[in-house]
Structure 1
Amino acid sequence: MTATFEAAAARDLAEQEGVPAVLDPAAAEHQVLIERWAERHGVDAARRLAEAEDLADAVAAEITPDNTVDTYAKSWRVWQRFCAASGLPEAEGSRGALVAFVAWMLCEGQQNGKGYAPNSASTHLAAAVVGLRQRGAAVSGDDQAEARAALESLAVKLLQAGERRGRGQAVGADIDGLRAIARACPDTLTGDRDRALVLTGFHYASRSQDPAGLLTGDVTEHPRGLLVDVLTGKTKHSVRTAKIAYADDLEICPVRAWTAYRTRLVAEHGQQWAAPSTPAFVSIDRWGHITGGMVPDSVTRAVKRISARAGVPIAWTGHSLRIGLASVARRAGRDSIAIADQGGWARHSRSMLGYMQREDGWDDNASASLT
């Protein structure tokens, strides 16, 4: 079989794989790859390699977290609005377009006409570059770096002009707040669930999606406490089994709070809620009816409501429990590696170290005790 025939057969194969006659850049690259394989290995091998590529794409799509997919989709819509407003083509990520995108986001990028906070603009820039590359656009690292440098410089200009954008970092949970919450929870199933949600979530540094993803079978009793299989984390480090020990302070013991909540749930609503496949944390309406499992948004709202009910000075958010574990454990002298393993951070995570710095910044401060 000649190379010319192989190439023609490879084009036929590409058409069978669904590649249109008029190709976008990504599809054209795919066709060239198939033709190269056919010339090297034959049409049958090229077909199998193409099928393997499809499988790899499917696996990548399957393992990408839903919140990452949502972020990419949202950022691509921001990019589309920018292109529509500026008259630029969506499929080109040139140096000038990326820098203009950054400036537009800080100036007027939100749908209400206001500018984004620099952190949000940074997220949209990174995700838009991913979207451009997925669609076959060539975006160089140098061009992206220049856009990011422009973003950082413009952010400094905003600070110099007195603008403070963004909500800032969430307040971290603390022990006094946990006690106030435990005391404020009513003697109802909802109150028991709230207490268990906050106390267990604090001890394994939960994000809002973590308790929402837990099943009853993911939490098992152990002679020394609980084992919590956290399977909804964003990275390989946060897919873990966290150990939660009994607390000396009975009022805020996460193990006893969990046991009381689950015992009451089964007693009031039936043995079916003890099944391993049921949600660990259920949604309960104002009349005490179970409406299903909690979702990340309902966890975030619950933590905010629970902390406000307890009179916590600054209402907690869905991330407060995660921040709190890192900062409180550091204050108590726990090793950073042990904290990282418990909370599912990489052992030198910048975000974890930033939470710890809230405490270290006082004890290790260069100006402390000089006067």
Structure 2
Amino acid sequence: MSTAADMALVPAPGDERQALIERWAQRHGIDAARRLAEAEDLADAVAAEITPDNTVDTYAKSWRVWTRFCTHASLPEVEGSRGALVAFVAWMLREGQQNGKGYAPTSADTHLAGAVTGLRQRGVAVSGDDQAAARKALAGLEVKLLQAGERRGRGQAVGADIDGLRALVRACPDTLTGDRDKALTLTGFHYASRSQDPAGLLTGDVTLYPRGLVVAVLTGKTKHSVRNAEISYADDSEICPVRAWIAYRTRLVVEHGEQWAAPSTPAFVGIDQWGHITGGMGPDSVTRAIKRISTRAAVPIAWTGHSLRIGLASVARRKGRDGIAIADQGGWARHSRSMLGYMQREDGWDDNASAGLA
């Protein structure tokens, strides 16, 4: 039988882990328990390593929302009961934001998932049934909001299209910033970029071949979104992503030096109003740039950081491209629900039970 002194030899980060290690020691001995504990530590480290930074940030934000709710409701933070989770959902929709307004249902759903994750990280057992009850309550309350004529949230971003790309290109000034904006939007459209994708690219991740570019997208969240995306020369030179990339990179080196040709430099650089390089673009600066570029071009609805991604799926579908080819180019899982949703924007008009009846 293991003693308390023996147990002290085994690393134990928390009461739950300590109890587990004690059970291992009783079953397999101290040495095996130590090795199993080290394997648990390795598993935790791997999980932390592979979790994207934006997911970590979302979990942290959701936990702050949960703690505000617990303070408001005078409930303990480390108790994820059915009643607490349902009350959390109702509170978020009613008044959960710091300005006293209710969250959009999609945001409430995200914070519910993040709060459950935070509870489990802190050793709180949250049953699947209790979480399901909270989600059912959220779905029912969302219906009530719709019936009351209340639509919250920004809704899905508008997708980029070819006419919009042409307008964007024509509105770009003949400056390094203008050339960067062309390359950012045209290449991003053709590999269905999220805002973090161009922000994470290095010069060495974009390779020029006789038939076009190969973009090594390394910032994806899944095995599908980490990919090499081929981008061919376009027949229309005005909106050709390859020519835009070459023009931008050539001008960057001519105006700011050969050091910007190094493979380790950012593929897309920030440029201030005086034309100075400020470093690599971050995801937020990419999002702001896409909105600014589209506003300058006077597209009917301003684009967001997700518009290029939506646009590739919807335009490629309209042009008759195969769904698997679209998924592979854009880094979706084949038969991805989000990708199919973007395609439905096109299919919903042509493949429609009411179309052509009159």
What TM-score range do you get, normalising by the shorter chain?
Answer: over 0.9
Partner letter of residue 146 of structure 1?
Answer: A
1:171-186 equivalences in 2 (<5 Å):
171-186=158-173
Q: Could you tell me how far apart the structure 1 residues matched to 2:273 and 2:188 are?
A: 23
The whole-number CA distance in structure 1 between the counterparts of 2:31 and 2:131 is 40
Hey, what's the Cα distance between the residues in 1 that align with 2:205 and 2:5? 52
What per-residue deviation string (whole Å, max 9, x for no partner) do you get for residues 123-158 of structure 1? 111111111111111111111111101111111111
TM normalised by structure 2 equals 0.98
1:256-275 per-position Cα deviation (integer Å, ceiling 9, x unaligned): 00000001101111111111
Deviation at 1:45, TM superposition (A): 2.5
Partners of 1:362 and 1:10 lie apart in 2 by: 70
How big is the shift at 1:40? 3.0
The correspondence for 1:129, drawn from 116, 121, 131, is 116
CA displacement at 1:169 relative to structure 2: 0.4
Shift of 1:44: 2.2
Deviations 1:326-353 (A, max 9, x none): 0000000001110000000011111110
Q: What is the deviation of 1:18?
A: 5.3
Structure 1 residue 80 corresponds to structure 2 residue 90: no
**What's 2:8 paired with?**
12
Task: Report if the CA contact (8 A) 1:10-1:34 is conserved.
Answer: no
Matches within 5 A, 1:245-260: 245-260=232-247
Residue identity matched to 1:317: T
1:50 aligned to 2:50?
A: no
Indicate yes or no: 2:270 matched with 1:274. Answer: no
- Where do 5+ consecutive residues of structure 2 fail to align? none
Of 86, 93, 108, 1:106 maps to: 93
Gaps of 5+ in 1: 20-26
Question: Contact (CA 8 Å) 1:10, 1:46: kept in 2 or not?
Answer: no
SS of match in other structure, 1:44: helix
Runs in 1 of length 4+ with deviation above 4 angstroms? none
Contact map agreement 1:198 1:303 (CA 8 A) in 2: yes
Percent of residue pairs bearing the same amino acid type = 84
Q: Count matched residues.
A: 358
The Cα offsets for residues 33-54 of structure 1, whole Å up to 9 and x where unpaired, read as 2122223332222222212211
Aligned twin of 1:216: 203
Cα distance between partner residues in 2 of 1:10 and 1:50: 14
Tell me the distance in 2 between the aligned counterparts of 1:368 and 1:13: 73
CA RMSD of aligned residues (A): 1.0
Shift of 1:311: 1.0
In 2, the alpha carbon distance for the partners of 1:122 and 1:64 equals: 19
Query: Superposed, which structure 2 residues align to 1:1-371 within 5 Å?
Result: 3=1, 6-14=2-10, 17=11, 19=13, 27-371=14-358
SS at 2:103 equivalent: coil
TM-score of the superposed pair, with normalisation by structure 1: 0.95
* 1:60 partner letter: A
Q: What letter corresponds to residue 12 of structure 1 in structure 2?
A: A
Alpha-carbon distance in structure 1 between the residues aligned to 2:263 and 2:81: 52
